[in-house]
Amino acid sequence: ADLSRFSTSQQFCSWLGLAPPTRISGGRALSGSGPKIHNHAGQALKQAASNARNDKGFIGASHRARLTRMDTSCAIKATAHQLARLIYSMLTKKQAYVEQGLAEFEARSQDRQLRALQRKARKLGLQLVAA
C-alpha cells in the first residue's frame, strides 16, 4: 500500500496501463492505441469495471452512461481508470470510500445537461426560462 513512488494519480494509472493514450501530433489525436502494458493489478481493475455494469451505485451508473457513448472496451478501461484514481486517493489520503449513490449521479447528469442547454441557447441568442 506504499504509493510514495507515484507522485500523482496520473502516474499511478499510467503504471497500471489504464491511462488514456496521448499520441497527439499537431493538436490532433493519432490513430492506433498506446503501448501494451500487462499489469496484473490493472487487469483486476478492468475485471472489476466490467462487473460494474450491474452495480446500483454511482460507479455502476457512470459505467452504464459510458457504455451508451463509447464501445465496451473503452468504457471498461475508463471505468477501471476511475477506480484506480479512487484507490490512489483512498490510499494516499487514508480515507474510506463514501458511496455517492445513484441519486447523486442523476443530479450531476441533469445539472450537466442543463448547463449544456444554456450554453446552446446563449450561442443562438436565446434565453431559457424555467417553467
**Which DSSP category does 131 fall into?**
-
Spell out the per-residue pLDDT of the chain, length 131, in tens: 678 889 999 999 989 989 877 777 887 877 776 667 788 999 999 999 999 888 888 889 889 999 999 999 999 999 999 999 999 999 998 888 878 777 888 888 899 999 999 999 999 999 888 77
Q: How many C-beta neighbours within 10 Å does residue 94 have? A: 7
Tell me the whole-structure pTM to 2 decimals. Answer: 0.74
At 117 the pLDDT is 93
All 3 cell numbers of residue 56?
446500483
